[in-house]
Structure 1
């Protein structure tokens, strides 16, 4: 699966996140450490630090602190999220995307969440 969820991917994703002004402004007031990982734990996770809607840092392999949100999926479901054949909302509701964190916060920011998922395959 190319370098998806690698350190290089995380940096590209951070840059794309910050270039998407609709995403950044839609997450104004949102700050969190987000983990993107593999459902079976077979490979290290990538981490994105968000402060006031802007992606400010990445990590790979180990988190700088306990993540606020964790999203994990199988390689097949990550691929479907990346190519757009599975939406973030549908993945959450069908548990194809394993999610840990405040569901209330996730629902509040569902529009920007969908945009961030759409960026996964572009990074």
Structure 2
């Protein structure tokens, strides 16, 4: 497939469809949730994703092993969130 994440997200945002509709849905291995205030602080670079997890401001459901395996990509994603214009 080789498409960039940006292209896939852009297509979903622009057209409201997944570019790979024939793929079977899979249950998420990990779900992350937090308060609006926590997301806002992460977005404004006042709080890192790692610190939010360690202080339990970000909660997760799923495998701790999966969380630890993908901690670096999560942090990179959270850092990039601040580059996206948002209103809270």
Deviation of 1:17 after TM superposition, in Å, equals 9.0
Structure richer in helix, relative to its length:
2
Deviation of 1:120 after TM superposition, in Å, equals 2.0
Aligned pairs, number: 67
Q: Give structure 1 stretches of 5+ with no counterpart.
A: 1-13, 19-56, 59-63
Structure richer in strand, relative to its length:
1
Residue 74 of structure 2 corresponds to 113
Q: Which has the larger radius of gyration?
A: 2
CA RMSD of aligned residues (A): 2.7
In the alignment, is the contact (CA less than 8 A) between 1:81 and 1:117 conserved in 2?
yes
TM-score, reference length from structure 1 = 0.46
Displacement over 4 Å in runs of 4+: none
Q: Give structure 2 stretches of 5+ with no counterpart.
A: 10-17, 20-24
